[in-house]
Amino acid sequence: MKPVMTSKERVMTTFSHQEPDRVPVGYFANGGIDRRLRQALGLKEGEWVGAALGVDYRGIWVPYKGKRLHPEVEGRGVNEEWGIRTRWIEHPTGGYWDYCDFPLCEADEETIAKWPMPDPDDFDYSSIAEQCRRNDSFALHAGHGGLGDIINMTGMLRSMEQVLVDLATDDPAGLLLIDRRIDIMVEVTRRTLEAAKGKIDFLWLGEDLGTQNSPIMSLEMFRKHIRPRHQRLVDVAKSFGIPTIIHTCGSSSWAYEDFVEMGINGVDTLQPEAKDMSPEYLKQRFGGRLFFHGCISTAGPVAYGTPAEVTEYCRRTLEIMMPGGGYCFAPTHALQDNSPTENVLAMYEAARQYGVYR
């Protein structure tokens, strides 16, 4: 067996397409399954489940310190910075906050130009150095699966349908909303990396580009509207000498050649049931060129199988994805509340058992 690495060494070795001591591990989960896992693992309130499961990276978050820009609305959750609205939806195994109202759905350019948005000065960059110090043995990332996300994140204000229409018709109001948000994100990201003084290891972006069966847009539209805006964030990461990973749901591999050209280093989510997203296809087509994070479906055996079926499913995925490095074991999305606790525990036990490089 190889010498034991720190989490930071493990992730960065994997990013460089070399084999570490064991496969790095990631974790995202909805509130219901997260609470059940905390109980099963004997954790106290406030202790992070991911730490108990051996997650190898930590996110560095820059807190917002400005005034509330959008008033509360009865019966809704309202994001104070952007004005995004949500409502609580119950389901048989738990619940979630669903986006609603879409206050800018029919807004014109003038309305969007006046819509309150945070100023990059309104974030507390002074906390970043201490966050990095506390977590210095882990791989540290700035950003998340929503950073730079045009379709979903802009859609939370304008509706996903209208955003797609905006992109198809070059609607100036919709494009203004997209660019106002991107301008802010680029500057906040730059200042975050600057404040970290070289301690952040990679940048995490996001954009959902596919349905289960096909692209959500043409390659031409992607290159016209999505790629150049994402390139701004990728270039910020490049200027600080760090790699970039991008979250892409659904059938998204049609855009991966462009990602490579852009200088994106890794892809996240990787729904194996979607078209051209199986582990075999991704490893054969992009192995050695893109770092993979995900592949363990939240809609497969983890949700509907037995612990034994989960173990075998994870073992097989690791067998395909591990050789040569370049793979982080993680769920395709946040683990859902309908996933049995014992299945999720079996999933991470499989990573410990079968994810060791020899």
Answer yes or no: is 240 within a domain. yes
In a domain, 100, yes or no: no
Specify the pTM. 0.96
Q: Strands of 291-296's sheet, edge to edge?
A: 57-60, 139-143, 202-206, 244-248, 266-269, 291-296, 327-331
Tell me the residue length of the chain: 358
Closest alpha carbon to 225 in 317, 336, 151, 141: 151
How many structural domains comprise the chain? 1
**276 found inside a domain:** yes
Q: What interhelical angle do 307-321 and 279-286 show, nearest 10?
A: 10
Bridge partners for 292 per DSSP? 267, 327
* 82 is a domain residue: no
The per-residue pLDDT for range 276-293, each reduced to its tens digit, is 999 999 999 999 999 999
pLDDT in tens, 217-259: 999 999 999 999 999 999 999 999 999 999 999 999 999 999 9
In a domain, 77, yes or no: no
pLDDT, tens only, 52-98: 999 999 999 999 999 999 999 999 999 999 999 999 999 888 889 99
Judge whether 145 lies within some domain: yes
Cα distance between residue 265 and residue 273, in whole Å: 23
Tell me which residue range forms the domain holding 246.
7-67+116-354
pLDDT in tens, 324-345: 999 999 999 999 999 999 999 9
Spatial contact of 57 and 26, defined as CB atoms under 8 Å apart: yes
SS3 216: coil
Q: Is residue 186 assigned to a domain?
A: yes
Largest CA distance in the chain: 63
Q: Which residues contact 196 (CB under 8 A, 6 or more apart)?
A: 60, 128, 129, 132, 140, 142
* pLDDT tier for residue 29 given thresholds of 50, 70 and 90: very high
Within a domain: residue 109?
no
Give SS3 for 250: coil
